[in-house]
Structure 1
Amino acid sequence: MTYPTDTPSAQPSGGRPLRMAYSPCPNDTFTFHAWAHGRVPGAPPVEVTFADIDITNGMAERGELDVLKVSYAVLPWVLDQYALLPCGGALGRGCGPLVLTREPGRDLRGATVAVPSEKSTAYLLFRLWAAATVPGGVGRITVLPFDEIMPAVRDGRVDAGLVIHEARFTYQNYGLHCLADMGEHWEATTGLPIPLGAIIARRSLGEATLKQLAESARASVRMAWDEPEASRGYVLEHAQEMDPAVADQHIGLYVNEFTADLGEDGYAAVHGLLTRAAAEGLVPAIAPDALAYP
């Protein structure tokens, strides 16, 4: 699902606004409200496109935009063109994807599981969990937009669903049960935060611009924390009829210290995820310095 661009930007001197894409989810609109609305001093103007994570992953693989929010899982395919920025993304603790079923304790051996993308961090975490806990493995994987997964599980069209975003707070409304928390498994086996979404920028913009972009993202999230009501209308406008209380929970869980700066633990989490996934044959291996920020 894509959404029309609604954030006008003044044309910067000597060039066009940077083209930026992120999701309409509350954590992204909260984080980038100040930047998108020209409130961050010195930040490059941006033209924003709203798109769900599977769409932005594809945009990055095709090299379509300048700055994008993507899954950490897609990095091995795009790091030749894009650099990982050290801020603006989503990592945390207690915020991992969930596997939902209609019946508690359902055996997933041979089951059909709906996932939001096969190049999502959620999918990598699920595959790593399943390799350790589902003897013989699950059956068929089917990709559905994240907002269609819970209805599909409820209606019996799939046996289980891997959910992200605000589904953590609303799955009981569908009469579903949490079979497993991918974040709990990740944290228990690594001790690291859960890497979910990354902010990347085109390497061809140059080192100075990449640093400016990182500072802009960092300043934007700090302004959001300092003035949370300033972004309220923007958040709720794009939250797809989400209850405001759920939007607040979403922001509280996914916008945290790692959004302002990945830090040592954040980089270790990303490197650990991609290393483990490569060992399982889920993603290509990355070079040792591929995550380095200019």
Structure 2
Amino acid sequence: MTTTEHNSERQRSLRTAYSPCPNDTFVFDALAHGRVPGAPALNVTFADIDITNGMAERGEFDVLKVSYAVLPYVLGTYTLLPCGGALGRGCGPLVLTREAGADLTGRTVAVPSEKSTAYLLFRLWAADTLPGGVGEIVVMPFHEIMPAVRDGKVDAGLVIHEARFTYQNYGLHKLADMGEHWEDTTGLPIPLGAIIAQRSLGADTLRRLADSVRASVRAAWDDPEASRPYVMEHAQEMDPAVADQHIGLYVNEFTSDLGEDGYAAIRGLLTRAAAEGLVPPVGPDALAFP
């Protein structure tokens, strides 16, 4: 890249969208606020992951936080960054019911999205544990799911994020932990959210972006208090202790670098989901980073 090209690219902010959840704001704080030397500038929009999944499918924005479940539909346009996303252990989606130990065979289940890792994990769990299969799947906004289960509008709900810590407030019971099932059957971490970037940005910019994301993660770990104003500004009235729990679950060594286990988890999820007919198959080199 020539000096002129480099300066031109630096002047053009990368249109970026990620969620207002504490793990994303924690990870991107230093990068979004220009505290990573030599990093591309970001023009940030906040949007929940079901919105960013749709953006990715339409080829909108340069950098997006999306569900791993949407990768098979967008890898022609976007490449998976080897950092910045959310994988982990003990942090999977939950199936909640009003009554402990309920049988979901043929029952109605509310989910936040059908193109989400949570949904894929749920369907893989159901395939293994409910021979009769679940009944109707109802898509509804994430914040409406627990009240709908509590009020009897649906038989069960698939929840993510901070609902792990708050579902008891609704008088609900955990029927199953999708993450536990995944980890027990594969031994791999749970792949939840991915950072993707437009392939058209070019290999140099993509590598610089990945390096900058890693630097932003390290900066947040080195000085967590520096990111707290940004985290709490967008945490939707979340208790600071819950925000810290959220960050502790979803920001880990896989956020800094996917590594061998991270890539194995992603390939494993997409391969199993494709075998169940839930997503299109992904080619062997589709996850390779430039």
User: Normalising by the residue count of structure 1, what TM-score does the alignment of the two structures yield?
Assistant: 0.95
Asked whether 1:30 is paired with 2:26, we answer yes
Q: Match of 2:56?
A: 60
5+ long unaligned stretches in structure 2: 1-5
Secondary structure, aligned partner of 2:272: helix
Q: Distance in 2 between matches of 1:137 and 1:212?
A: 46
Residue from 183, 205, 208 that aligns with 2:204: 208
User: C-alpha offsets along residues 195-229 of structure 1, whole Å, 9 cap, x if unaligned?
Assistant: 00000000000011110111011000110000100
* Residue 188 in structure 1 maps to residue 184 in structure 2: yes
Q: Classify the secondary structure of the residue corresponding to 1:171.
A: helix
Structure in which a larger fraction of residues adopt helix:
2
**Do structure 1's residue 269 and structure 2's residue 265 form an aligned pair?**
yes
**SS at structure 2 position matched to 1:268:** helix
Q: 1:170 — aligned with what?
A: 166
State the partner residue of 1:46.
42
Aligned to 1:232: 228
Say whether 1:132 aligns with 2:128: yes
TM-aligned CA deviation for residue 60 of structure 1 = 0.2
Q: Which of the residues 270, 276, 279 maps onto 1:280?
A: 276
Q: Distance in 1 between matches of 2:138 and 2:279?
A: 18
Give me the whole-angstrom Cα distance separating, in 2, the residues matched to 1:279 and 1:270.
14
Q: Deviations over 1:129-168 (max 9, x none)?
A: 0001012100000111111111111111111000001100
Deviations 1:71-126 (A, max 9, x none): 00000000000000000000000000000001000110111101110000000000
Kindly indicate whether residue 248 of structure 2 is the aligned counterpart of residue 252 of structure 1. yes
User: What is the distance in 2 between the residues matched to 1:252 and 1:26?
Assistant: 10
| Paired residue total | 283
Give the unaligned 5+ runs of structure 1: 1-11
Alignment of 1:97-112 (within 5 A): 97-112=93-108
Distance 1:78 1:191 in 2: 27
Which deviates more from structure 2 when the two are superposed, residues 183-192 or residues 148-157? 148-157
Does 2:54 align with 1:71?
no
Partner Cα distance (1:287, 1:213) in 2 = 24
Q: Which residue of 2 aligns with 1:222?
A: 218
Q: Deviations over 1:3-30 (max 9, x none)?
A: xxxxxxxxx9424210000000000000
Structure-2-length-normalised TM-score: 0.97
What SS does the aligned partner of 1:278 have?
Answer: helix
Name the aligned partner's letter for residue 118 of structure 2.
A
Partners of 1:124 and 1:217 lie apart in 2 by 27
Partner of 2:3: none
Matching of residue 90 in structure 1 with residue 86 in structure 2: yes
Q: Sequence identity of aligned pairs in percent? A: 83
Indicate yes or no: 2:17 matched with 1:21: yes
- Code of the residue aligned with 1:150 in structure 2: it is M
